[in-house]
Chain A
Amino acid sequence: MASSAPRKRAATVITEVDATRATDLYRTVARIRAAELVLQRHITEHGFGGFWHPGLGQEGVQAGAVAALRTDDYMFIAHRGLGYALAKGMSLESLFGDLFARTVGSTGGKGGGTVHFVDPERGVLGQGGAIGSSFVLGAGAAISGQMLGTDRVCAIFFGDGASSRGTWHESALQASVWKLPIVWICENNGWAVSARISEQSPTENIADRASAYGVPGVIVDGQDAIAVFDAVTEAVDRARAGHGPTLIEAKTMRIRGHYEGDRQKYRDDLLVGDEIPRDPLGILREHVPASVADQLDDDARHEAESVLASVLEAPRADPSIIYKDVWS
Chain B
Amino acid sequence: MTEQRTQESPGDGVSTINYALAINHAMAEEMRRDSRVWILGQDVGRMGGVFGVTRGLLDEFGPLRVRDTAINETFIVGAAAGAAMTGTIPIAELQFADFMLIAGDEIFGKLAKWRYMHGGKLSLPAVVRVPTGLLGGVGAEHSQSLEVLGMHFPGVKVALPSTPADAKGLLKSAIRDPNPVLFFEHKGLYRVKGEVPDDPEFLVPFGVAAVRRRGDALTVIATGMMVDRTLAAADVLAREGHEVEVIDPRTLVPLDMETILESVQRTGRAMIVHEAVRTAGAGAEIASRIHEELFFALDAPVWRLGAIDTPIPQDPELEQLCIPQVPGIVEAMRGLIAL
Which residues of A are at the interface with B, using a C-beta cutoff of 8 A? 74, 105-111, 116, 118-120, 125-126, 128-130, 133, 135-148, 166-167, 170-171, 173-174, 177-178, 324-328
User: With A and B bound together, what is the CA distance between A151 and B24 in angstroms?
Assistant: 31
Q: Which residues, 141 to 187 on B, are CB-close (under 8 Å) to A?
A: 154-155, 178-179
- Whether B116 and A325, one on each chain, are in contact in the complex, defined by CB atoms closer than 8 angstroms, is yes
Which residues of B are at the interface with A, using a C-beta cutoff of 8 A? 36, 38, 64-65, 67, 69-70, 72, 74-75, 77-88, 90, 105-106, 109-110, 114-125, 154-155, 178-179
Pairs across A and B, CB under 8 Å, 25 listed: A106-B118, A106-B121, A107-B117, A108-B119, A110-B116, A110-B119, A111-B119, A130-B105, A137-B78, A142-B82, A143-B82, A143-B88, A144-B87, A166-B74, A167-B75, A171-B75, A171-B78, A171-B79, A173-B70, A174-B72, A174-B79, A178-B67, A325-B116, A326-B155, A328-B124
Question: Which of the residues A116, A133, A135, A140 comes within 8 Å of B80, measured between beta carbons?
Answer: A140
B40 CB → nearest A CB, Å: 8
Residue on B with the closest CB to A324? B120
Residue on A with the closest CB to B118? A118
Q: Which residues of B contact A178 (CB under 8 A)?
A: 67
B46 CB → nearest A CB, Å: 15
Q: Which 10 A-B pairs have the closest CB atoms?
A: A136-B78, A140-B82, A107-B119, A325-B120, A137-B82, A328-B178, A140-B83, A140-B79, A144-B86, A170-B72
User: With A and B bound together, what is the CA distance between A174 and B40 in angstroms?
Assistant: 12
Q: Which residues of A contact B77 (CB under 8 A)?
A: 136
User: With A and B bound together, what is the CA distance between A171 and B30 in angstroms?
Assistant: 28
User: With A and B bound together, what is the CA distance between A130 and B104 in angstroms?
Assistant: 12
- Whether B179 and A328, one on each chain, are in contact in the complex, defined by CB atoms closer than 8 angstroms, is yes
User: With A and B bound together, what is the CA distance between A110 and B114 in angstroms?
Assistant: 12
- Whether A141 and B105, one on each chain, are in contact in the complex, defined by CB atoms closer than 8 angstroms, is no
Residue on A with the closest CB to B114? A126
Question: Which of the residues B36, B74, B88, B155 comes within 8 Å of A136, measured between beta carbons?
Answer: B74
Q: Given the interface contacts A126-B117, A166-B74, does A328 sit within 8 Å of B82 by beta carbon?
A: no
- Whether B155 and A143, one on each chain, are in contact in the complex, defined by CB atoms closer than 8 angstroms, is no
User: With A and B bound together, what is the CA distance between A125 and B69 in angstroms?
Assistant: 24
- Whether A107 and B121, one on each chain, are in contact in the complex, defined by CB atoms closer than 8 angstroms, is yes
- Whether A144 and B88, one on each chain, are in contact in the complex, defined by CB atoms closer than 8 angstroms, is yes
- Whether A141 and B72, one on each chain, are in contact in the complex, defined by CB atoms closer than 8 angstroms, is no
A98 CB → nearest B CB, Å: 9
User: With A and B bound together, what is the CA distance between A142 and B85 in angstroms?
Assistant: 11
User: With A and B bound together, what is the CA distance between A182 and B85 in angstroms?
Assistant: 16
- Whether A143 and B116, one on each chain, are in contact in the complex, defined by CB atoms closer than 8 angstroms, is no
Q: Which residues of A contact B70 (CB under 8 A)?
A: 170, 173-174, 177
- Whether A140 and B118, one on each chain, are in contact in the complex, defined by CB atoms closer than 8 angstroms, is no
Q: Given the interface contacts A107-B121, A143-B79, A145-B86, does A325 sit within 8 Å of B115 by beta carbon?
A: yes
Question: Which of the residues B83, B106, B121 comes within 8 Å of A119, measured between beta carbons?
Answer: B121
- Whether B74 and A167, one on each chain, are in contact in the complex, defined by CB atoms closer than 8 angstroms, is yes
Question: Which of the residues B78, B84, B85, B155 comes within 8 Å of A139, measured between beta carbons?
Answer: B78
Residue on A with the closest CB to B71? A170
Q: Given the interface contacts A137-B110, A144-B87, A167-B74, does A106 sit within 8 Å of B119 by beta carbon?
A: yes
Residue on A with the closest CB to B79? A140
Question: Which of the residues B87, B109, B115 comes within 8 Å of A133, measured between beta carbons?
Answer: B109
- Whether A120 and B122, one on each chain, are in contact in the complex, defined by CB atoms closer than 8 angstroms, is yes
User: With A and B bound together, what is the CA distance between A105 and B78 in angstroms?
Assistant: 26
Q: Which residues of A contact B85 (CB under 8 A)?
A: 125, 137, 140-141
- Whether B122 and A126, one on each chain, are in contact in the complex, defined by CB atoms closer than 8 angstroms, is yes
- Whether B117 and A147, one on each chain, are in contact in the complex, defined by CB atoms closer than 8 angstroms, is no
- Whether A120 and B121, one on each chain, are in contact in the complex, defined by CB atoms closer than 8 angstroms, is yes
- Whether B82 and A144, one on each chain, are in contact in the complex, defined by CB atoms closer than 8 angstroms, is yes
Residue on B with the closest CB to A132? B105
User: With A and B bound together, what is the CA distance between A139 and B77 in angstroms?
Assistant: 11
Residue on B with the closest CB to A135? B78
Q: Which residues of B contact A108 (CB under 8 A)?
A: 119-120
Which of A141, A171, A326, A327: most chain B Cβ within 10 A?
A327
Residue on A with the closest CB to B154? A326
- Whether B123 and A140, one on each chain, are in contact in the complex, defined by CB atoms closer than 8 angstroms, is no
Residue on B with the closest CB to A156? B82
User: With A and B bound together, what is the CA distance between A167 and B104 in angstroms?
Assistant: 12
A37 CB → nearest B CB, Å: 27
